[in-house]
Amino acid sequence: MHTLRKMVLFAALVGVSSLAMAQAPAPKRMGLASASFADGAVIPDKYTQASAAPVSPQLSWTDVPDGTQSFALIMHDPDVAMQKTTSDVLHWMAFNIPGIATSLPEGVPNVASLPDGTVQPLNTGKKNGFMGSGAGCCVYHHYTWELFALDTKLALGADATRDQVLAAMNGHILGKAVLVGRFHKPPA
């Protein structure tokens, strides 16, 4: 009889916890969007190397995880294997974007450090800040913006490499959002 009571009590607890789990809303996923172009769409020329002076697109994010202290942003072209390695073209990297931020404006200045503490290390073109999309003629490349919500600020400077930034982020990522745009230069 004692064993039967334990089994009934256990079954009741499992049922209640299963019901509570079924009714709990799924956590929202962090989102990343741009007023400059839609996810998966062609990137307008003003944000690419088709322009004489490309500027960074506007970016905004939603559903940031609780506890976010900073953000890190990496824009790269995964369709390129540089020098037959796993490295691709890094177009933009920024970290220590303040955790209270919900967007970046169009045309973020191409400097090593911004007044709000954001750090922009060198891109593949050996310049701080944004480097516009630059795929050759006729075949679209997929330019990927990855935004990471972090539970800390990174103790790195503008001389940090992508590998160093990724290593410092390890164990501190609370959420991630992705935006993809496509681009290729028009035929001459």
The CATH number given to whatever domain includes residue 44 is 3.90.280.10
Round the average pLDDT of the chain to a whole number and report it: 90
Q: Which 3 state secondary structure label does DSSP give 82?
A: helix
Q: How much is the pLDDT for 131?
A: 98
Higher pLDDT, 26 or 1: 26
Residue 188 lies in a domain: no
Residue 17 lies in a domain: no
Show the domain range for 83.
Answer: 29-183
Structural domain count of the chain: 1
Residue 23 lies in a domain: no
- Which tokens go with 25? 């809303």
Residue 163 lies in a domain: yes
Residue 15 lies in a domain: no
Residue 89 lies in a domain: yes
> pLDDT (tens digit, 9 = 90+) per residue, 58-92?
999 999 999 999 999 999 999 988 878 888 999 99
- Which tokens go with 100? 């209270």
Taking the C-alpha atoms of residue 185 and residue 123, their distance in angstroms, rounded to an integer, is 20
User: Which of the residue ranges 29-33, 82-86, 109-113, 146-150 would you say has the lowest mean pLDDT?
Assistant: 82-86
DSSP state, residue 177: E
User: Which of the residue ranges 14-23, 77-86, 92-101, 172-181 would you say has the lowest mean pLDDT?
Assistant: 14-23
Residue 50 lies in a domain: yes
> pLDDT (tens digit, 9 = 90+) per residue, 121-171?
999 999 999 999 998 888 999 999 999 999 999 999 999 999 999 999 999
Residue 10 lies in a domain: no
Residue 31: strand pairing partners: 62
